[in-house]
């Protein structure tokens, strides 16, 4: 393990919820919950105001509504969050070529590899600048942990939340880790934690005192060795710039169990096509097709079939998924379906059609594709039936010809309620209600959270007075941001 705390871990604060609050002035400082709003939806992110009521990620949405009935409940806007994530990742790549994203809002950075830091002082300054840059570019806040290893950097960023920075100085790791619960360490989930607790091990200190042999006996060779090393603050894992995808998959959870076998088959075919589109979008192909079925009683089955070579052909994936479904009993009803592809490669085997030829070819020649047939029937119904009510998704952006940009607060019974405001609005916007078929109301793209800086007509953009010049940034500033305050261990005062 290196001696300087030059591994940085960034974790954006309540990312989805914070992005929604920044986008919607009327929600700032209020409880916001983002996730699936259906009967079986789950919480993706809760704002810190919502967490006060006990709401947290992965909680069933119905439970969240009971805990915080007055919170704002919004449907995720994936494209919007991705655009912000790309801005943040761009700032990280400016620091170092070694950036390891863990998700849209979390990443490791090797500052030393990019020459951005080489000791505790320069690493701290890089972290301060990064947080300021993120706020300037996105309007959001992120918490930063700095340490000599990935494990410790992640622990430091957790201590820094929200909107803080913590540095773990070399030599202080064991004293810091000792009193922490074993669940703090990577790889210790609920089951492992309970197993260790039954053995009388609750803290990292107790884990180290138990010894390597005892941990191997309790947890097995690989897990026991790894956990003992982590208890001693040893973590040699490097920051890996490119994390290869191991699989590509899609799945849907249904608000009402599907009992009709034909409908189940149609859903599997639709998921197979979505999976292939995602596969092709990543420039990949795969050899193993996986079907996931969660039944009415929450039992989950997975079935897989390995082809002779990698493919990205929708016909081949659909046929394999259909064969896998034939072996699954769905009589009692299905609540979730998923289709995935593993064994990924960046090439395809062109003659894989031979695997699905013969009977498949004859069948396809005689009958239309089930997905296309369903779409055709749907189109026929649209021609015969009155137009369906326009659907407006809660939290998504709209634009009205007369009132401008806004977002959907709710809809139903032929009406849609819109609050008209933008990220730059100084006050919460006005609320108006329209018919769902109002021709003046249209879906809109999200607006940037930070307004572009005005350009000077006679030269480059005017530099913000809050930005440090390169000369100023070359040494530790005389005064640090209010969100950072030093402590005896060289870290920052963390917030709960």
Q: What's the pLDDT at 128?
A: 96
Give the pLDDT band of residue 263 (cuts 50, 70, 90). very high
Which residue has better confidence, 148 or 366?
A: 148
- Under a CB-based contact definition with an 8 Å cutoff, are residues 314 and 273 in contact? yes
- 5 upstream amide cis, omega within 30 of 0: no
Catalytic residue among 100, 106, 120, 421: 106
pLDDT of residue 456: 61
Report residue 344: phi and psi, to 5°: -75, 150
Q: What is the pLDDT of residues 295-323, one digit of tens each?
A: 888 888 999 999 888 888 899 999 999 99
CA-to-CA distance for 495 and 141, rounded, in angstroms?
13
pLDDT range class, residue 341, cuts 50, 70, 90? very high
Task: Lowest mean pLDDT of 200-209, 230-239, 244-253, name the range.
Answer: 244-253
Structure-token match 């062109």, residue found: 350
Q: Does residue 459 register a pLDDT over 90?
A: no
Q: Residue 457: what pLDDT?
A: 59
Q: What does the pLDDT read at residue 109? A: 96
Asked if 370 and 330 touch (Cβ cutoff 8 Å), the reply is no
* pLDDT of 349 higher than 80: no
Q: Which residues of 292-324 are buried (b: 16+ CB within 10 A; e: fewer)?
A: bbbbeeeeeeebebebebbbbbbbbbbbbbbeb
Q: How many Å is the maximal CA-CA distance in the chain?
A: 78
CB 476, CB 119: distance < 8 Å: no
The pLDDT of residue 468 is above 60: no
Mean pLDDT of 362-369: 42
Q: Is the pLDDT of residue 490 over 90?
A: no
Which of 158-172, 341-355, 365-379 shows the lowest mean pLDDT across its residues? 365-379
Check: CB of residue 123 under 8 Å from CB of residue 117: yes
User: Cα separations (Å) of 86 from 59, 284, 311, 336?
Assistant: 27, 22, 30, 31
* pLDDT greater than 70 at residue 480: no
Cβ atoms 440, 479 nearer than 8 A: no
Is the whole-model pTM more than 0.75?
Answer: no
Query: pLDDT-based confidence at 262, cuts 50/70/90?
Result: very high
Query: What's the pLDDT at 247?
Result: 85
Q: Report the pLDDT value the prediction gives residue 65, as an integer from 0 to 100.
A: 95
Counting residues of the chain whose pLDDT is more than 90, the rounded percentage is 56
Residues 395-450: tens digit of each pLDDT: 999 999 999 999 999 888 899 999 999 999 989 999 999 999 999 999 999 999 99
DSSP label at 148?
Answer: S
pLDDT of residue 190: 83
Q: Which helix (H) or strand (E) holds 406?
A: strand 404-412
The predicted-structure confidence for 264-295, as pLDDT tens digits, reads as follows: 999 999 999 999 998 888 888 899 999 999 98
| Mean pLDDT score of the chain | 83
Q: Residue 485: which pLDDT band, with cuts at 50, 70 and 90?
A: very low
Instruction: Specify whether 106 is catalytic.
Output: yes
Which pLDDT belongs to residue 455? 64
The pLDDT score that the predictor gives to residue 187 is 78
Query: Sign of the CA dihedral 457, 458, 460, 462?
Result: negative
What's the pLDDT at 241? 87
Helix axes 120-138, 78-95, angle to 10 degrees: 150
What distance, in Å, lies between the first and last C-alpha atoms of the chain? 29
Render pLDDT for 106-120 as a digit per residue (tens, 0 to 9).
Answer: 999 999 999 999 999
pLDDT for res 308: 84
Q: How far apart are CA 188 and CA 197, in angstroms?
A: 12
Distance from C-alpha of 127 to C-alpha of 483, rounded to nearest angstrom: 12
Concatenating the DSSP letter of every residue in 328-356 gives S--TT-EEEEEEEEEEEES---GGGGGGG
pLDDT, tens only, 141-192:
999 999 999 999 999 999 999 999 999 998 899 999 999 999 988 878 888 8
Say which residue the tokens 């913000």 belong to. 464
Give residue 299's pLDDT. 85
The band of 92, judged by pLDDT with boundaries at 50, 70 and 90, is very high
């Amino acid at each position: 393990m290196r001696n300087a705390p030059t591994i940085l871990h960034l974790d954006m604060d309540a990312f989805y919820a914070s992005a929604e609050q920044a986008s919607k002035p009327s929600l700032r400082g209020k409880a916001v919950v983002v996730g699936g709003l259906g009967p079986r939806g789950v919480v993706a992110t809760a704002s810190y105001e919502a967490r006060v009521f006990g709401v947290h990620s992965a909680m069933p949405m119905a439970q969240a509504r009971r805990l915080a009935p007055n919170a704002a409940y919004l449907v995720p806007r994936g494209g919007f969050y991705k655009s912000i994530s790309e801005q943040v990742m761009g700032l990280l790549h400016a620091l170092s070529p070694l950036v390891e994203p863990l998700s849209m809002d979390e990443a490791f950075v090797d500052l030393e590899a990019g020459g951005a830091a080489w000791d505790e002082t320069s690493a701290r300054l890089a972290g301060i600048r990064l947080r300021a840059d993120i706020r300037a570019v996105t309007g959001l806040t992120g918490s930063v942990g700095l340490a000599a290893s990935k494990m410790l950097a992640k622990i430091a960023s957790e201590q820094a939340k929200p909107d803080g920075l913590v540095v773990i100085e070399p030599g202080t790791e064991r004293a810091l880790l000792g009193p922490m619960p074993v669940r703090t360490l990577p790889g210790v989930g609920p089951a492992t934690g309970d197993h260790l607790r039954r053995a009388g091990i609750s803290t990292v200190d107790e884990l180290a005192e138990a010894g390597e042999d005892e941990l191997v006996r309790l947890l097995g060779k690989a897990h026991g060795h790894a956990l003992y090393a982590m208890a001693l603050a040893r973590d040699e894992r490097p920051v890996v710039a490119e994390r290869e995808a191991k699989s590509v998959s899609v799945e849907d959870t249904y608000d009402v169990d599907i009992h009709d076998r034909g409908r189940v088959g149609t859903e599997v075919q639709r998921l197979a096509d979505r999976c292939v589109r995602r596969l092709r979008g990543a420039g990949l192909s795969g050899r193993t097709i996986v079907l996931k079925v969660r039944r009415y009683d929450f039992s989950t089955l997975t079935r897989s079939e390995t082809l002779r070579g990698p493919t990205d052909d929708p016909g081949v994936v659909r046929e394999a998924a259909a064969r896998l479904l034939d072996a699954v009993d769905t009589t009692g009803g299905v609540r979730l379906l998923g289709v995935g592809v593993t064994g990924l490669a960046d090439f395809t085997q062109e003659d894989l059609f031979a695997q699905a030829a013969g009977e498949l070819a004859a069948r396809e020649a005689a009958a239309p594709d089930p997905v296309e047939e369903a779409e055709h029937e749907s189109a026929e119904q649209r021609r015969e039936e009155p137009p369906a009510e326009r659907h407006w998704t809660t939290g998504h952006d709209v634009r009205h010809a007369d009132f401008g940009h806004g977002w959907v607060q709710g809809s139903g019974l032929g009406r849609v309620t819109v609050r008209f405001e933008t990220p730059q609005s100084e006050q919460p916007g006005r609320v108006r209600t329209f018919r769902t078929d109002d021709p003046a109301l249209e879906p809109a793209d999200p607006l940037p959270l930070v307004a572009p800086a005005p350009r000077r007509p006679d030269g480059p953009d005017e530099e913000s007075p809050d930005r440090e010049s390169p000369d100023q940034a070359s040494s530790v500033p005389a005064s640090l941001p209010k969100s950072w305050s030093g402590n005896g261990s060289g870290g920052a005062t963390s917030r709960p």
